[in-house]
Amino acid sequence: MLSLNPWFLYIALAIAKNCVVMLYSGQLDVIVAAPLTERFLPTVPWSKVEEYKQADRTYWKIRSSDTEVAGYVRQVGEFYQVIVRGGGHILPYDQPERSFDMIDRFVSGRGWQHY
């Protein structure tokens, strides 16, 4: 086992250069578990780590008429940490509609406003 902590510093540098970064996990992923990612991120020495620790986790729905929450998002500047509900390690297979919506929101810049 090797730590990915040094590799995440490259992502942190991208954030510092105002690049938009999204790190996502499936809620049910047993290989790269979402809770472990959430525990890892506050330990990385990046410029916005204190903001990340204080950031609220909000939810999003695909449509306002949906009764189910699609996932949860924590945003700090141009960094987004997303957890997709009901998704496993192969997220587009497990949750194709939620995966598409997540990627579309990220690429288009719509954000994850909840209803």
| Domain locations in the chain as residue ranges | 19-108
Contact 81, 73 (CB under 8 A): yes
Hey, which CATH number is domain 19-108, 2.70.98.10, 3.40.50.11320, 3.40.640.10, 3.60.15.10? 3.40.50.11320
Q: Which tens digits make up the pLDDT trace of 15-31?
A: 767 788 899 999 999 99
Largest distance between two CA atoms of the chain: 44
Q: Which tens digits make up the pLDDT trace of 18-76?
A: 788 899 999 999 998 999 989 988 988 888 889 999 999 999 999 888 899 999 999 99
